[in-house]
């Protein structure tokens, strides 16, 4: 049985004060909720505030991006070492917005995944096709390529700490959700590829989250699919009540 993981990706929203306000409202709504793992991923400037605010609770904290180096002359970047020092446990890697707007390649996603694991951060590795790729019948090919390269050099033991997020780019922030069947089909493609790369046992245990316009009113249908092991939520995670409803799908 794979324990579901429900993660909030706040993207570039919320000041530290707003982040603390969210946590103050959110924690009482999920107290004692042990069925799913809960992770909040604020922007780098709010990580410290959120780590402090959730201390002692069932909520963990993730970053949204790291550099591939431990330290160095890389203006504007943050390292895995720095995030770990703050008390961060998870890291989103290769989100489609990083791929689209910041030029992240499959190879860079692989390097960042290795870097995260080296420092004990749990990577949430994002994959997903563009609208043109889906319409061009290339979904499977894209998912296979992204998954294979992301896992290059990763051992079965390391894979136990990796979570994959399937986020079809056309469903992100658009209000268009993949149907539960479409998402399950994509998840099966990804899981089969993980089995090919690392064996059946790793594939059976790895969690694959769905992301893309997950809302309180569609969360249950998506998360009840046996292939879907959680959600990575953008817009609907910015409001504490709305996100708590998704957590309690
Ligand atoms: P939305 O939930 O706003 O579509 O965003 C999804 C996402 O990108 C989560 O990482």
Does residue 247 have a pLDDT over 90? yes
Q: Chain-wide mean pLDDT for the chain?
A: 97
Ligand 1 residue neighbourhood (C-beta within 6 Å): 9, 95, 167, 172-173, 211-214, 232-236
From 232, 239, 243, 245, mutation site for ligand 1 pocket: most ligand atoms within 8 A of C-beta = 232
Give Cα 119 distance to the centre of its chain.
18
Environment class of 72 (CB within 10 Å of its CB; exposed 0-12, middle 13-18, buried 19+): exposed
Give residue-wise pLDDT tens across range 111-137.
999 999 999 999 999 999 999 999 999
% of the chain residues with pLDDT over 90: 97
The residue to mutate among 172, 236, 242, having the most atoms of ligand 1 within 8 angstroms of its beta carbon, is 172
- What pLDDT is recorded for position 175? 86
Do residues 176 and 225 lie in contact, with contact meaning Cβ atoms separated by under 8 Å?
Answer: no
The string of pLDDT tens digits covering residues 193-229 is 999 999 999 999 999 999 999 999 999 999 999 999 9
Q: Give the model's pLDDT for residue 176.
A: 87
Q: Which residues contact 119 (CB under 8 A, 6 or more apart)?
A: 70, 80, 81, 84
Q: What share of the chain is helix, strand, coil (3-state, %, to 5)?
A: 50, 15, 35
Q: For 233-241, what is the mean pLDDT?
A: 98
Cβ atoms of 88 and 66 within 8 Å: the answer is no
d(CA 149, CA 46): 31
| pLDDT tens-digit series, residues 43-84 | 999 999 999 999 999 999 999 999 999 999 999 999 999 999
**Domains in the chain, start-ordered, CATH in brackets?**
5-247 (3.20.20.70)
- Residues 13-36 have a mean pLDDT of 98
* Contact in structure between 248 and 240 (CB atoms under 8 Å): no
Q: What is the mean pLDDT of residues 152-169?
A: 98
Per-residue pLDDT, 1: 83
What number of CA atoms fall less than 13 Å from residue 185's CA on the CB side?
A: 9
Question: What is the Å distance from ligand 1's center to 57 Cα?
Answer: 24
Q: Residue 48 — φ and ψ, nearest 5°?
A: -60, -45
- How many CA atoms does the CB half-sphere of 116 hold within 13 Å? 31
What per-residue confidence (pLDDT) applies to 29? 98
């Amino acid at each position: 049985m794979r324990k579901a993981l429900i993660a909030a990706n706040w993207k570039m929203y919320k000041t530290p004060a707003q982040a603390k306000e969210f946590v103050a409202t959110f924690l009482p709504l999920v107290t004692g909720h042990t069925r799913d793992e809960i992770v909040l991923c604020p922007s780098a400037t709010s990580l410290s505030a959120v780590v402090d605010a959730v201390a002692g609770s069932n909520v963990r904290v993730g970053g949204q991006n790291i550099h591939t180096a431990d330290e160095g002359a890389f203006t504007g970047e943050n390292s895995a070492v720095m995030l770990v020092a703050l008390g961060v446990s998870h890291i989103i890697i290769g989100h489609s917005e990083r791929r689209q707007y910041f030029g992240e390649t499959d190879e860079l996603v692989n390097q960042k995944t290795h870097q995260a694991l080296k420092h004990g951060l749990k990577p949430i590795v994002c994959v997903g096709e563009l609208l043109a790729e889906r319409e061009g019948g290339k979904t499977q090919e894209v998912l296979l390529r992204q998954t294979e390269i992301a896992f290059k050099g990763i051992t079965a033991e390391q894979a136990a700490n990796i979570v994959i997020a399937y986020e079809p780019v056309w469903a992100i922030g658009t209000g268009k959700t993949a149907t539960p069947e479409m998402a399950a089909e994509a998840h099966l493609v990804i899981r089969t590829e993980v089995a090919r790369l690392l064996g059946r046992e790793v594939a059976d245990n790895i969690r694959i989250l769905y992301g893309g316009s997950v809302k309180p009113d569609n969360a249950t249908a998506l998360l009840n699919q046996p292939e879907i092991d959680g959600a990575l939520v953008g817009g609907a995670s910015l409001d504490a009540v709305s996100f708590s409803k998704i957590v309690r799908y």
